Structure 1
Amino acid sequence: MSTQERDWYQRAGVRGGPRRRLTDEVATGRAFFPPALVPYLDHPHVAALGEAKRRELLARHLFQYLDFTAQFETRVVNRATERIAGNRCGVATDVPVRLDAYRIYCDEGYHSLYSLDVIQQVSLASRVTPLEYDFGPFLRRLDAIGTEALPYEPALAQLLQVVVFETLITAVLNEIPKDPDVLTVVRDIVRDHAKDEGWHHAFFAQFFRELWTQESGASRGRIARCLPGLIRCSLLPDLRPVRASLAAAGLAPSAVEDVVRDSYPPASVDRGIRRASRHAVRLFQEVGAMDVPGGAEAFDAAGLLP
């Protein structure tokens, strides 16, 4: 058994991690989510709602983050990971790679399980009801990018979606575990998730290198021009649940639009996308995606280059 195999069987959250449980910290006033990562929380319209409503907004922001995670892992990541594991991805892979893909498949399903578990625990303790979240519009936008760039290669488009997402570095995974004011159960599951994602990142970075070497020159051009759109779609804030949460907190429609406009200015959103995508962009630069016709232009047009 290789070191990587042994490490997974001993260290993967789904193999040896405990079920993370909420204690009595809701009653002590611990934050549901880091306020600094919620752009609209200090907007004057939101501040005027009072502290109780602001805590509800933080709770619903947590619920939306975890709900998105649960659905993305199963409906996007595992959709492509199962192709690799089942030897149906169009890339020549050996059995150890397929076994690693099955391990990642198990990891991602477990991330979805404990995301929903924590939503339920926190909702019951806080008496804040999660709002329904429709993942469909996001998934349709993500799939449409691949359909446009790779109209006859849906499996390849799905693989690229996962390569992109698994090589992004977001503030949530980095910062929540270090924030002592956030509920311990939230910090624990995000830390657990980040630990697993560290080796997922390495797997998909190497997988993309193999994929790239096996593609033709024409296909590489299509891939390079597809990647920037996938990056932006993956990182653009989904404002539908933000609007729904603000409305549920009592803001009028005009005030909701004021908060959204002021809290998510395009320049700030673009900076966040560049910051979170820098490792993915570096990977694509290293393999030569910027050197194929239209590659560098596509990344520059998407605002992903310095």
Structure 2
Amino acid sequence: MTGYESPFVVDGVDRWYSKAMVRVRGNVLSGPGWQDSYTLYNRVLTPYTQHPLVERLGPDAILQLGAGRLADYLAKTEIVEIEIVNRAVEGILKLPAISEEMRADLLKIYTDEGYHVLMMAEFRRHIQDETGIWLARRPTRELASIAELVESFPPEKRPLAVICCAIVTETLITATLRQAGGDTVYPPVTRMLAEHAADEARHHAFFHRFAELHLPSLIGSDAALVEETFRRVLWYFLCPDFRRLRDDLVGQGLTVGQADRVVDESFDRADLREQFLAASVAPRRLFASLGLEAGDAFAEQLNGLDHVSLLSLTTFERSRGAA
């Protein structure tokens, strides 16, 4: 199709066959053995582990809190790949305007995402073997909210909503995947996150190009659905589940009051706002280029952060039809 450039092709060569993790990654996770000095998630991204009340709980509690963050990343990845991205790919493949070149790239993405789920399952077993910690699959608040949003639309509109969800999740920056490693993080965690990010960078490019080429013709009379889905999925996907964090802190020995204090004192509202804006730069620019207001609406929504409790942010959104 005129205007489509495959993100997998570099200098005329399809790099998927030599770069995709499903093609080049071994089935044995290598690296140094576990040491007590390692963590499972970068503490820069878990500022609550540096709060005095948490530090008093000791290194095992801090390790378990990092493990909870890693467990949620693994579970979230599995659900996003299967329930959002590959469902979207299935829907896109049915569109009559899809070229053979784009179809081939969609099948590569479908294969990548299925393999990423296997990667997460293998990695979960590796962590248990090395550390004795089982990274449990816990229901994710944000993905449950996305599923509820999709189901709230009429059945015939849901395929478009799922495609919009995938455009958001796949165009959010992958920098966090790289940031979550490093420092004192167990090296296989850093490696796994970097491998995942490498594949996702190509998926990001594909969904950006797909949206530019095909979304305008798909919107039709469904502009409100697209705007709402884009804005709300940005919010659901970026906002931490502070209630789960509070529950995890209580599980490590803090009282509910202490856990609430740790959450409140560990996250600066201005920093949160900047993090959300920075993480959403790519999709917000894409929305603007398509003449959509969802990115601006999301940015405006963040101005209300100073006026709500962090523990209430699961409901911090405008309902459908609200002014």
TM-score, L = length of structure 2 = 0.81
Find out whether 1:301 has 2:322 as its counterpart. Answer: no
Distance 2:153 2:274 in 1: 25
SS in 2 for 1:228: helix
Distance 1:120 1:148 in 2: 36
Q: Do the aligned partners of residues 245 and 123 (structure 1) sit closer, same or farther apart at CA in structure 2, a change above 3 Å counting?
A: farther
| Residue deviations 1:5-30 (CA, integer Å, cap 9, x gap) | 73112221001122351544322522
1:1-306 to structure 2, matched below 5 A, reads 4=9, 6-19=14-27, 21=29, 23-27=31-35, 29-85=37-93, 87=94, 90=95, 92-135=97-140, 137-146=141-150, 153-176=157-180, 179-215=182-218, 218-264=221-267, 266-290=269-293, 298-303=297-302
Distance 1:56 1:216 in 2: 45
CA contact (8 A) 1:22 1:185 kept: yes
CA contact (8 A) 2:38 2:185 kept: yes
Question: 2:61 is aligned with what amino acid?
Answer: K
Distance 1:222 1:54 in 2: 42
Q: Do the aligned partners of residues 265 and 41 (structure 1) sit closer, same or farther apart at CA in structure 2, a change above 3 Å counting?
A: same
| Residue deviations 1:230-280 (CA, integer Å, cap 9, x gap) | 211111112344234323322223322222233345544332211100111
Distance 1:132 1:283 in 2: 33
Q: Do the aligned partners of residues 188 and 39 (structure 1) sit closer, same or farther apart at CA in structure 2, a change above 3 Å counting?
A: same
Distance 1:252 1:138 in 2: 25
Tell me whether 271-280 or 111-120 shows the greater mean CA deviation.
Answer: 111-120
Tell me whether 219-228 or 160-169 shows the greater mean CA deviation.
Answer: 219-228
- Counting aligned pairs with the same residue, the percent is 28
Question: 2:301 is aligned with what amino acid?
Answer: A
Offset at 1:53? 1.7
Question: 1:46 is aligned with what amino acid?
Answer: V
CA contact (8 A) 2:284 2:295 kept: no
Question: 2:64 is aligned with what amino acid?
Answer: E
CA contact (8 A) 2:45 2:180 kept: no
Question: 1:158 is aligned with what amino acid?
Answer: V
**Which sections of structure 1, spanning at least 5 residues, go unmatched?**
none
Q: Do the aligned partners of residues 42 and 192 (structure 1) sit closer, same or farther apart at CA in structure 2, a change above 3 Å counting?
A: same
Q: Do the aligned partners of residues 226 and 55 (structure 1) sit closer, same or farther apart at CA in structure 2, a change above 3 Å counting?
A: closer
CA contact (8 A) 1:243 1:256 kept: yes
Distance 2:111 2:176 in 1: 22
Distance 2:267 2:87 in 1: 31
| Residue deviations 1:100-134 (CA, integer Å, cap 9, x gap) | 11111111111111122212211232222334401
Offset at 1:93? 0.9
| Residue deviations 1:122-181 (CA, integer Å, cap 9, x gap) | 12322223344013x43331134445677851111000000001111154223245x253
RMSD (CA atoms):
2.7
CA contact (8 A) 1:229 1:302 kept: no
Q: How many residues align?
A: 294
Offset at 1:211? 2.5
CA contact (8 A) 2:143 2:236 kept: no
Distance 1:225 1:245 in 2: 31
CA contact (8 A) 1:77 1:162 kept: yes
SS in 2 for 1:30: coil
**Which sections of structure 2, spanning at least 5 residues, go unmatched?**
1-5, 304-323
Q: Do the aligned partners of residues 76 and 222 (structure 1) sit closer, same or farther apart at CA in structure 2, a change above 3 Å counting?
A: closer
Q: Do the aligned partners of residues 27 and 297 (structure 1) sit closer, same or farther apart at CA in structure 2, a change above 3 Å counting?
A: closer
